[in-house]
Structure 1
Amino acid sequence: MFPILDQEVNGHPLVYLDSAATSQKPVQVIEAIDAYYREYNSNVHRGVHTLGTRATDKYEGAREKVRKFINATSVQEVIFTRGTTTALNTVAASYGRANLREGDEIVISYMEHHSNIIPWQQIARQTGALLKYVPLQADGTISLEDARETITSKTKIVSIMQVSNVLGVINPIKEIAAIAHEHGAIMVVDGAQSAPHMKIDVRELDCDFFAFSAHKMCGPTGIGVLYGKKELLENMEPIEFGGEMIDFVGLQESTWKELPWKFEAGTPIIAGAIGLGAAIDFISEIGPEHILEYEHKLTAYAMEKMSSIEGLTIYGPQSADQRAGVVTFNLEEVHPHDLATVLDAEGIAVRAGHHCAQPLMKWLDVSATARASFYLYNTEQDIDRLVDGLVKTKEYFTNVF
């Protein structure tokens, strides 16, 4: 089902535990992309010929699949982007620049990915707004009491990730959104780590914007989605200009197409959208709620097994029910990069570094960590291999030093 997993790395069967960075692709997604290039490769929207019509139908059909997947009200609220990073930058540069003034507040958290920090830093610098951080509890979670204390009548934008790519924490987005709205602020959600692993209902969350990437949810790289409430998107200006997004172009001025196309300048990511549509079909058939349930079991199993290794520290909540499928850890006196290198020699792929979350690393008082992240294709046997590899790593460095 996942062709890439059927191989050996360094003489060992591959154990892929880096899905938080990018997931592997099922054959259905690979075939959908291949079919586009082999059978009906054409640009969309512009042509009336057969290939162009087929491509347009598949491309816009993928948009409808996204709408249904996240329960958006209309396809006009679904904008294709290059990924979560582009989506968040679009909100910051368009909505933020137009609506923030000196003295206004933007609220984020210490656990945010750099993609949900740097755009707000830049817009705060340009507008004179103040960037504030919701503090974290000792276990890395966000308390609603702290959210209420941080979000004030001066707050105009709250932007929080739904699931931490480091701690695995599942944040109470619906409740934080309610607090934001009580103060007249909008709620932006980084859904890069949640959309692949759980049921997403943007109307139930009552978020104003929601961003996610295809490549973390069995889809291709290079495409993502920005959901936005229609009334907000209609009043926002695009930040990229050119073909596809225009209605009329004169010598001195131009007008834009209606939603969602006014935010999709240039030839769109056609194959990517088709691949994302196939990935949504794949995930929907399994059921996002079943994926999360399965990951809870895998995470609980991993934390129990890994906790038995002396000198190993697991960061974040100690209950698997509070996490998605992420376990971030350090092994005493072994640098995470050295640990990852030894595991790779055993055919086990984990990630090491700051995981694009340097403020969180500072909060944890570490320079880097190792991270094992699970998805629907992982098994308890994969975790057993990880634990065996960690024991070997510990023994190796004990003997060497």
Structure 2
Amino acid sequence: MSNNLISANVVGATQTFESPFGRKVVCYADFTASGRAVQKIEDYIQKQVLPLYGNTHTTTSATGNQITAFRHEARHIIAEAVNAKLIDGPNGDSVIFSGSGSTVAINKLVSILGLVPKFGSSNAVIFIGPFEHHSNMLPWRESGAQIVNIPENEEGLVDTCFLERKLKEFAKSILKIGCFSAASNITGLLTDTNALSVLLHRYGALAIYDFASAAPHTVIDMNPVVEGEEKHLVYKDAIFFSGHKFIGGPGTPGVLVLKKKLFSKTSSTSQPGGGTVLYVTVKDHKYLDKNEDREEGGTPDIIGSIRLGLAFRLKQQTGPTEIMRIEREHVQRVRMSLKANKRIVLMGNQDLDQLPIFSFLIRFGNRFLHYNFVCALLNDLFGIQTRGGCACAGPYATSLLGINSSDTQLILKVLTEGLCAFKPGFTRFSLTYFMDDSEIDYILNAIHFVAEHGWKFLSSYRFSMYNATWKHVSELSNLTTRKSLCDLDMDVEISAGPEEDPERDCPASIDAHRIENIKMAHESADTCMRESIACNRGRTSMFNQDGPYPTLRWFLCPDEGLDEAIDEAEMNSLTHAIGPIHPERYRTQRIENNEEEDRVRSRDCYSLAESSMQVRPRRRIRTWISQFSNRIKNNFSSPLKASRHCCDRKACEHLHVK
């Protein structure tokens, strides 16, 4: 299937939704969070798989026989794709489907290794990398094993020198395990898994990898064939990944692939239950010999595992080498564009090989635009689907954002009080190989627009201090447009067909629609600004100098003093940031060394900003407002509806932050 055909086959490729700024076509840029369904795969499942659906664990009925064969074939497709050897003996590999993604897969692995939570794990040492997702941290922590965190080196990759020192230090430990992300889900940086495997095996440690972010893009090789004296050490002991992140993968299970030698001969199973036993008596039972059967107790995700086999076929048809070639071109395109904008702060080292995963902040004056506000604007103005937060990789995110240890403790205290708005993070978007240049350019143009003009929409939004969500004021008084499972009328005849076409309002030309979105965004920015001037008069900030807010708030608020925003726009300056987020610390490697210096500097900047707001000349502001209003009148021949596109005045008067 060609890239164009894949793009056209994505379910929802022309899906529309109603935003505060009109109807938008979904532009999906959140592939690292989850992939998208493919119509060709879904059609095959509906027409060929579901009609013969039955439970597994039998081959005597037509349905049981066929569905078992489908699932067996899917396992072999995946094994071949990751170069797993489904052979007997300790060097053989097992492919195990494991519930809801990587989280279940790694918990199953921890159990298989006999690391019982809080008991019997004191002799195990786990070396984990700097990029780790929470799912590759918490199960090891809860196991009771000793955790050794391996930091980044000067380039921003795994510090193998530090790792080797620690491997020597813990040489006498009974069980040593190295578990590292094959790629970061924040920056997309790739790990040299072959080199790490050799190093770990040299010192008797297991080499395990989290391929959740990397699996849809890269080569996955359990048993690489290489040259050199240590070629016998390059194999992987285990890998795990989430099926739902693949193109065509939504609704699929996680996968754990591991060496058969890791299964204990004396252990029963990590998941006792139906389908795992050979025979059960009143007092005794015997488990099945085959690892896959023992470890997939209960009725499995049958359709999901079959779907994942088809998703792997789709990936292998293009080939991971070709996928990476295309995506490296995407990476260079994005880097060249975003690095040219001084308001956009890209996370991580932009000179290393990476997947097309990008996390960024947008500067404005001495603060940042909140990541969820940026996501809201990209969604509402352009239909672009992104994600805000720490990407479930808190320690790495903290390092990238340059947050020192003292601020981390203060942030934790505020978060435990329920004020999630202070949670540090960034906006993340991700691309995939079948996206064309025009779609990528549209996403980049939208990000540049938000970087330059996003602040003008602040007063048109309200946000919750408790869950950090941002909503346009028009959405606060209107009924939600979200669909409900209860919308389905079970009594409607099948012949009547669907009640509505979800893509009925898709414009004839997606490209023309995107051009119009950019144009409307510029018009809406000026219109919202004009309305905001009136709405913000006399309003006061929700923040004051009491408590932790002045030192911890790193973002602009909806009711931020408009005068400050106007002056910042005129000066076009990016002063030293107020608050705990300082990405420049990551680049200069001075997070811990300059804590007091930065704290004093931030406090001084905050005081200066507060004092300048109090003494700012009103005449200058009135002149600016007059000039701005005149420009609006001259530029607009058909002004947009204020009730829909601008700040709702009644909402401004009566609605407050939750």
Unpaired runs of at least 5, structure 1: none
Aligned-residue offset at 1:32: 3.1
The 8 Å contact of residues 49 and 67 in structure 2, kept in 1 or not, is answered as no
Q: Which residue of 1 aligns with 2:360?
A: 329
Aligned-residue offset at 1:372: 1.1
Equivalent in 269, 293, 300 of residue 238 of structure 1: 269
Q: Deviations over 1:354-400 (max 9, x none)?
A: 11111112222351011111112322222222222222223334445
Aligned-residue offset at 1:7: 2.3
2 CA distance for matches of 1:349 and 1:163? 22
Equivalent in 390, 396, 399 of residue 447 of structure 2: 390
Aligned-residue offset at 1:237: 4.1
1:340 paired to 2:357: no
Matched to 1:112, the amino acid is E
Look up the SS of the partner of 2:360 in the other structure.
strand
Structure having the higher Rg = 2
Aligned-residue offset at 1:101: 4.1
Q: Deviations over 1:331-371 (max 9, x none)?
A: 11211111010000111111110111111122223510111
2 CA distance for matches of 1:120 and 1:230? 21
2 CA distance for matches of 1:377 and 1:13? 18
Aligned-residue offset at 1:135: 0.6
Q: Deviations over 1:95-128 (max 9, x none)?
A: 041796425421002210000000000012xxxx
Matched to 2:254, the amino acid is G
Q: Which residue of 2 aligns with 1:164?
A: 184
1:373 paired to 2:381: no
The 8 Å contact of residues 315 and 329 in structure 1, kept in 2 or not, is answered as yes
**Larger CA deviation: 326-335 vs 101-110:** 101-110
Q: What does residue range 76-87 of structure 1 map to in structure 2 within 5 Å?
A: 77-82=94-99, 83-87=101-105
Unpaired runs of at least 5, structure 2: 1-8, 88-92, 225-233, 404-423, 459-564, 566-658
Aligned residues between the structures? 396
2 CA distance for matches of 1:168 and 1:146? 22
**Larger CA deviation: 226-235 vs 335-344:** 226-235
Q: Which residue of 1 aligns with 2:494?
A: none
RMSD: 2.0
The 8 Å contact of residues 140 and 167 in structure 1, kept in 2 or not, is answered as no
Which protein has greater RCO, CA pairs closer than 8 Å, 6+ apart?
1
Look up the SS of the partner of 1:145 in the other structure.
helix
1 CA distance for matches of 2:64 and 2:199? 46
1 CA distance for matches of 2:40 and 2:243? 14
Cα distance, 1:6–1:397 mapped onto 2, change above 3 Å: closer
Look up the SS of the partner of 2:113 in the other structure.
helix
1 CA distance for matches of 2:125 and 2:33? 31
The 8 Å contact of residues 188 and 207 in structure 1, kept in 2 or not, is answered as yes
2 CA distance for matches of 1:398 and 1:104? 51
Matched to 1:343, the amino acid is L
Aligned-residue offset at 1:47: 4.4
Aligned-residue offset at 1:195: 1.4
Cα distance, 1:273–1:148 mapped onto 2, change above 3 Å: same
Q: Which residue of 2 aligns with 1:313?
A: 345
Q: Which residue of 2 aligns with 1:200?
A: 220
Q: Which residue of 1 aligns with 2:65?
A: 53
Q: Which residue of 1 aligns with 2:490?
A: none
The 8 Å contact of residues 144 and 175 in structure 1, kept in 2 or not, is answered as no
The 8 Å contact of residues 141 and 316 in structure 1, kept in 2 or not, is answered as no
Q: Deviations over 1:194-237 (max 9, x none)?
A: 21101111011511111011111121334021101122235454
**Larger CA deviation: 100-109 vs 180-189:** 100-109
Q: Deviations over 1:254-299 (max 9, x none)?
A: 2211221100000111101110111111111111111111111111
**Larger CA deviation: 175-184 vs 99-108:** 99-108
2 CA distance for matches of 1:151 and 1:36? 51
The 8 Å contact of residues 301 and 380 in structure 1, kept in 2 or not, is answered as no
Identity rate, percent: 24
